[in-house]
Amino acid sequence: MTKKVRLVKLTAGQIALAKEANGRKKQITHAVVCDNFGQLFGTEKQCRKYYSAWSNIFPHIFCGGEEVDNFEFKSFTTTPELVMVLIDAHVPFEKAEITQKIADTSRPAQQIPAKKKGFWSKLFGA
């Protein structure tokens, strides 16, 4: 798992392209890029909120996050329903982990042999 959530500070040219793709009235200065799952464009405050949350909420698909100033975008449109895309990608890993835990706990425990009583404990019933 080498995927990271990236908080990207956009350049002036990238801001113009992102506003063109997402709406001119939108306030866009940053982006959150979730590897090949998608991206989200918005203000620094909005993006930082998602960036800090997603790197912790989805530990099975992301190994943390990083802040970058330079990033090459293939597209400047916000991925629709990005949260649902991330949830759909995370759930199979989470279910596999739960199944593994259940399998580990369902194994029969080894019985510890009872300690043998000595002569004096048998005699005095201790």
What single-letter amino acid sits at 29? Answer: T
Model pTM?
Answer: 0.72
Q: How confident is the model at residue 17 (pLDDT cuts 50, 70, 90)?
A: very high
Contact assessment for residue 99 and residue 91, using Cβ atoms and an 8 Å cutoff: no
pLDDT of residue 123: 77
What are the tens digits of pLDDT across the range 23-81? 999 999 999 999 889 999 999 999 999 999 988 888 888 888 899 998 999 999 999 99
List, in sequence order, every residue forming a beta bridge with 32; answer none if it has no partner: 7, 40
What share of the chain has pLDDT > 90, as a percent?
53
Looking only at the bridges linking them, the beta strands covering 65-68 and 39-42 are: unpaired
The order of strands in the sheet holding 30-34 is: 39-42, 30-34, 5-9, 65-68
Residue 90 makes CB contacts below 8 A (sequence gap 6+) with 58, 60, 61
Identify residue 34 by its one-letter amino acid code. Answer: C
Mean pLDDT score of the chain, rounded to an integer? 86
